[in-house]
Every structure is written in structure tokens, then in C-alpha cells.
Structure 1
């Protein structure tokens, strides 16, 4: 790498450390990385931290020399809490769990479950239709939907979305606290927090065992620690992305109408096909632009376990590299039309890179795009005044305080428009056209 990282002075380092203590820490670190893509170096008592976003640094750390690093800030601290799972483990334990999860997450296996994902999206839309005329926080709705898709993918019973979300709120708060304080304030010194963490872990253990239903499973991910990590990895990032997307859509009725037109192709009256999902142009664009603008994995951290040189900086074991995916795109406006026109590449780090890149990309994209199209075809989302979206960056980047919207049903629960309405006649016509074009039996593939 020709360019070198710049070591920050004491004042700039202090400001960066102060930013880490704030809920909007993602904004500050993203600006820092964007200003010096090859890296800014923070000198700390515990070692050096390089904050960067340049593709050369990403390739070096995540791909070419991945064996010199383990997961660092945030996920390393989550591992202390929830143990060795697919998201948090290292070495042979991680390799076993990734290998065990791979068959269910291959693109072909995910495609074979398309009918189940579409049905899960309609079930989610049913719940929103039932809230017609009311104000709703989508956070738990999205947790339930993504956990249902995960459960049907891996063949276990869906856990309780609210209980999982509330438990992981405690885990994420504790993980980011440990990351920011570098473990300087042990949990035993904070009895109220210790009690909350213990209760959250009991909830997660109970939900893990309940989902498996007492059925013996031999997969490496099927233990308590593996299931907890699978729950977190399988729901949080996709749910966070959809929370941002829904917040953006609530301000754009015309864009929702475009998605609604596409969503008619996923009507309950016919078997969906992979071609149907591929044709959801606007839904793909919304999902892609949301990933670019608000990547759920806002920070990819790696801790050196061997000596290395990054952007001219000699790293020793214990030093860290922080990669900021959001800093790779200077345009901060939400405009999915660019993706439709082929003008903007997707976020290059949305799902990581190298051997530890996200293995669930196919599932995340499918369930994200399907939810956007189906829900838009069933309900309208309206922005709530004085509820602007602000980031809360912990292990993932989600809207602070949730995504609160006013819901208006386009259809009744079950997916039918009120009889006699123009919408009902339009829906009936679309269904008739779809059945003519795709004369398959109804129902979801097993």
C-alpha cells in the first residue's frame, strides 16, 4: 500500500474515544474513516487502533491475511457473554459451526424454501393489517419475521420474537459497554446489570431449548451457545436493515406503490418462483440502497494475533483494525432509483469479506426483498411527525427508539382487499393473470 495511516494527536484521539461512548458513534467513526481511508491511528494504553475503510486495507485484513486476526471490538465482548457460536467463535469451533450451517444457507437450499419465506411475509403482513389505523413500532414485528424465516430454514420452531429481541437488547448493551470501557468495569461491580444479563441469558437458553422442542440434533450449532449465536446472527442484521428501509419508505408513498405493484407477484393465490423474486426490481433496489446507506454491520473489527503491517503501521498482537463499511459511500441520501438505473454499486462490505463473510447472504436478501414487496402490497406505512430516524450503533446499527409508523391496511388480514373495492378488483385481476401465466398448484414447497 503506497499511502500510510496517520497517527492522531492526543486531542483528536480523545475526541474519537469520546465519540465511542455515544449512541451515534457510527457517525463520528464513519467521518474519521472517510477523511483518511487508509487509516487513522489511535494510540491507547491497551495498544493501537487503526480506523480505515480503503479497499486495500479491507482486502489485506479480511482476505489476504485473515489468519493473522480474530474478531475484535464488540463481537469479542459478545463472545464473553453468549459463548462460542457461529457469530462469535474462532478456530476449529467456528469452522465446525460454519460447516454445519452451510447446507441450509446455500443459495439453492434457500431458493427451495421460497414459498415458506413468502408465507412468513404474508403472516407478518396479516399482523400489520390487524393494526390498521394504529401506530406501530416495527421492531418486534421484524424480529418475529426474520426469526420465523431462520427457524424454517434450519428446521426448528420459531422462538418468541419479543423475548429474543428484549434479551439481545441487554446483551448488546453489555457488549458495547465492555468494548468502550475495554473491560475496565467488571460485571460483578454492577449488580443491577449483572442481574439483567443473567435474566437475558436464562431467556435465551429457554428459547433455544424450546425451539428445538426436545428433539435431539447433532449439528454443531444445535447446543445452547450455538443456538443463541444463530438467533442473533440470523435476525438482527436483516431486521435492522428492514427497520431502516421501512422508515425511509414511510416518507415516500409513491415508492411504496411501486413496491406494492411488484408484491402482487407474490400473491398467496399462486406458488412463487425464483423468477418472481428476481423481478422485484424496486424491492431489490430499496434493500440494496438501505444496506449502502445504513449497513447493519457498521463496524468490522479485527484484533491482531500475529505481527502485521497495515498502511505502513506495524501492528503487534492485541492491536486492532476497525473497518467502517458506511464510509465507502460519500452520498448520504436515500435514492434507490440509482440502483434501478444501475448507477450505484452495492455496499462492498454489507456482508463482510473473506473467509468470515456472512454465510447467510442468500437468505438475508431473499427475506428482505420478499418482506418489502409483500408488506407494501398489503399495508401503507406513514411517517410519524417528530420521529426522525437516528442511529443507535451497538453490535448492529438500528434506528434508535425503533421504527414507529402509522399503519393503514390495503388488504384485510389474510391478503384480501375489502370486497367491492377497486383495490379488490385489481387484486383479483392480477391473481387471474398470474395463474394464467404460471399454471401451478397453489401452496408452498415443502
Structure 2
């Protein structure tokens, strides 16, 4: 029996939209077309059945879906499997050598400096910003009552409000709309896979689409630098420090090193890019799934209303909303924002009995892992009860935030925000699907709903 035999077996949940995985070899140019159209189309369907798939001709790679091997890559031998050159090529024009792509000691001191920023206390202190964003999102949905609304667009707005308020709370000349446009343009264009990536060209070979991050990206960095420099001279005390305040005050507890303006900027932009896009996607896909399965939506609404009544959720409410947290986890299983990761082996190794050579690309297809037939029962179905209290599954079969030393530093922040916003909306509105308007899961840098998430909105 699969490892996650779940509660609620008598219920037959509907099957939400799914990426059509590859069923035949694509070749170089087929891979390029698929990769630029939807990275997940590079993943073969057999990846949802096999523990590992390898290619040993030409550019060597291994696609790993076995939890024990993933534990080795992400936790036990993490230094031997740094992020791949392709990942760094895609992201470094936007976020420099920040925590997300730094390696070795450069990563370690940044992680030690930033970890206290995302302590439970600090994340809880920032929750009122999330509650306020939930109220504003509710007001926008109320204005759309009785007609269709794009939940993806609304959730991007809400989560960008949150991340900009908790990152640069003072506003100090920081054009939030310009930042939002620059990030969206970067993800949509320069993050696409290149033919040079497919054939394994060295990192020093220029990728034309990435030579210039664009004037918007350069302007964004200049604005961020100016904001940081102004904040350094601002001695006014704040009731609740934002992420910039906390990072400015932070230092590596071992070396005493503090971040420069450039290091602060790159890490703050990392938090902005990752902190709003991924949570917006989780919320959008969750609302799609709620509309798809009204039984789950009704149960979630009952939980939210029993606790909240007519008010918006707060950080204190999150532990008392376990079913809505299960919905968030099940959404992250079906539509993980970071659905395709890659590493580069630095030493010879063996994974699942396969030889791994130094320089081999090791792919972690999280989308396929989360739908693996030997790890999950009825894996394409939507069933939040798989995450019910007392249920056990292998930790390395569910990796929406990664794991090991490099687990996403903002995971608790993201989950708190998602539960606060989702519970507030479900307590007030009913969302129903619009026939023929299902979103299409497409991954470039993150797993987005192409065409938006169009739902009918009614007061609950």
C-alpha cells in the first residue's frame, strides 16, 4: 500500500488540472521548445513511477524521486550537491549572490545572519500586515460579487502588499509598482530555459536573453540601494521593525560580519521575489481547488466561521485552523511553486544504485515526486485529509520548501500568510468554478496558472 493511505477513503474527490508529462523522448530541439513553453513538460511520465531516471549520453543527468536519495542530496551530502549553474544563471541577474544561490561559507554566514529575522516571534509580529491585506482582498472580492474575478491577480496584489509592507514599510521613495513590474517581466522572460542550457554549454557562455536584466531591474536595484542607505541614517524607533530593520541590525554571530548595502539589497529582493510570488500561487491554486471541490470548501468555511465569525484572521488564529492548514499543504503538494529544482554533483557518488559522476546534473522534479504512485495514494486527487493530524508520510516525499540546511528560510512566514488570507476569504465568500475556464499549470521559474484563476464570487 502507498505510504500515505489516507482518511476519507469513502469520498471520491474530483481530479483537478494536471501537467501533461512527456511520454516519448523529446530530443534537443523538442526539449528546448518544451522547456520554454513549460519546464514541467521536460519531465517524463515515468518519473511518477520510478525512483530515478538517468541519461548517460551527452549531457549527463539524473532525475531523482526516491526519498532516501533526496535526503542524501538535500541533507546528508548537501555540500556535494550545490544549486546548478542553470539556476544561478537564471537568478543571479536579479538577486546577485544572495542567500538563495550563494554556496559554502558565503551562504553559511548569510544564513546565520538572516535566520533570526524569521524567528517565530518576528513572523508573528508581522502578521497584522497580513490581516490588513486579507481585509483589502476581501473588499476587492466583495466589489466583484456576482461575477467572475481573477483570483490569481487578486492574490498577487495581496501578497505583494504584504511583502512590500514588511520589507520596506516606510516607502521611502521605493516605487512598489515599478518593482512589481520589473520582477514580473524578469520571471516571464529572462528566466526561460536557453538552448545553451539544454546542450550543457559552460556557464561562461553568454545567454543572450540574460545578458541584460532590463532597465526595470536596474532601476529597481538603484531604488533599493537608496532606500537602504536612507534607512541606515534613520534613528527613529519603530513599534514593529520590518525585514530591512531586522537585517540592518543583524550580524553573523560567529564573525560579527554585517551585510553591506549590496548584500542587503540582494537578500531583500530575494525575499520580495520569493515571498510574494510563491504565496500568491499557493493561494490562487487553493482557491481554484476550493471551487473545484465544494465539499472541502464547505468544511473549511465552517472551520473559519466557527473561529473568526465576521473578523479577519490573525497570527493567533493559525494554530486553531488545522483543516485550512491541511488545504494549504495539499495545494503545495499538487501545485508546488518550486516544482523543478536542479543540482550539480561535485564529487562521484551513487544514488539508487546509479553511478553519479562529478559534474552530472541532478534534477529534483518536485511536481513528479508529489504525484508519485508509490508514495501517494490516488496522487492526482485533491484530498486535504492526507495531511490530517496523526497521518505519517516520508518527510522527503513532500518538499514544497525543500529540506535540510537550505530549507526555505521564509516557510513559516509563507504558511502563516496563506492561512490568514485563505481563512478570511473562505469565511466571507463562496468561490465556484467557471466551465471552460480551468487554469493551465505552466512552469517557467514558478508553477503559474496560465490564463489566471477565474472564479465566480458570491457572499457566503
Q: Indicate the TM-score class for this superposition, using the shorter chain for normalisation.
A: 0.7 to 0.9
Shift of 1:65: 0.9
- For 1:213 and 1:140, locate their aligned partners in 2 and report how far apart those are by CA, in whole Å: 32
Question: Please, which of 225, 247, 256 is the counterpart of residue 266 of structure 2?
Answer: 225
Q: 1:350 to 1:164 in 2, by over 3 A?
A: same
For 1:341 and 1:380, the matched residues in 2 are separated by: 26
Q: Is 1:335 the equivalent of 2:351?
A: no
Between 389-398 and 154-163, the greater mean CA deviation after superposition: 154-163
User: Would the aligned equivalents of 1:104 and 1:154 in 2 still touch at CA under 8 Å?
Assistant: no
| Alpha-carbon distance, 1:71 to partner | 0.6
Q: TM-score, normalising length from structure 1?
A: 0.77
* Closer, same or farther: CA 206–373 of 1 in aligned 2, 3 Å: farther
Pairwise CA distance, 1:334 = 1.0
Q: In the aligned structure 2, how far is the partner of 1:207 from the partner of 1:408?
A: 40
1:198 and 2:199 matched: no
Task: Give the corresponding residue for 1:215.
Answer: 231
Contact 1:300/1:323 (8 A) holds in 2: yes
User: Deviation per CA, 1:262-282, whole angstroms, max 9, x where unpaired?
Assistant: 3333467598463x2212132
TM-score (norm 2): 0.74
The residue that corresponds to 2:345 in the other structure is 304
In 2, are the aligned partners of 1:325 and 1:349 still within 8 Å (CA)?
A: yes
Residue 156 of structure 1 corresponds to 169
SS at match of 1:36: coil
Structure 1 position 369 matched with structure 2 position 369: no
The 8 Å contact of residues 115 and 271 in structure 1, kept in 2 or not, is answered as no
TM-fit CA distance, 1:357 = 1.0
List alignment gaps of at least 5 residues for structure 2: 1-23, 233-243, 251-258, 374-378
Contact preservation (8 Å) 1:144, 1:161: no
Preserved CA contact (<8 Å) 1:167 1:204: yes
* 8 Å CA contact 2:148, 2:455 repeated in 1: yes
Q: Which residue among 381, 395, 402 is the counterpart of 2:452? A: 402
Report the equivalent of 1:442. Answer: none
User: Alpha-carbon deviation of 1:404?
Assistant: 2.1
Which residue of the partner structure matches residue 422 of structure 1?
none
Counterparts of 1:247-258 in structure 2, within 5 Å, are 247-258=288-299
Across the two proteins, how many residue pairs are aligned to each other?
393
Q: 1 CA distance for matches of 2:321 and 2:186?
A: 36
Q: Distance in 2 between matches of 1:385 and 1:304?
A: 46
After TM superposition, give the deviation of residue 358 of structure 1 in Å. Answer: 0.8
Q: Evaluate the alpha carbon distance shift between residue 210 and residue 31 of structure 1 in structure 2; reply closer, same or farther with a 3 A threshold.
A: farther
- Supply the distance in 1 between the matched residues of 2:152 and 2:313 (Cα, whole angstroms): 29
In the TM superposition, residue 209 of structure 1 has moved relative to its aligned partner by: 4.9
Higher RCO (CA-CA < 8 Å; seq separation 6+)? 2
Q: CA 1:287/1:152 → structure 2, altered by over 3 Å: closer, same or farther?
A: same
Q: Classify 1:199/1:214 alpha carbon distance in 2 versus 1 (closer, same or farther; 3 Å).
A: same
Matched residue SS, 1:406: strand
Instruction: Assess, with a 3 A threshold, how the Cα gap between structure 1 residues 30 and 234 changes in structure 2: closer, same or farther.
Output: farther
1:353 to 403, 419, 429: 403
Any residues of structure 2 matched to 1:3-14 within 5 Å, and which? 12=25, 14=27
SS of equivalent to 2:359: coil
Q: Once superposed, what is the RMSD of the aligned Cα atoms?
A: 3.3
Q: Shift of the alpha carbon at 1:367?
A: 0.8
Question: For residues 278-301 of structure 1, what are the alpha-carbon distances to aligned partners after superposition, in whole Å with 9 as ceiling and x for unaligned?
Answer: 121321121111111111111121
The match for 1:23 among 32, 37, 42 is 37
Shift in alpha-carbon separation, 1:288–1:271, aligned structure 2, 3 A = closer
1:116 equivalenced with 2:129 (yes/no) = yes
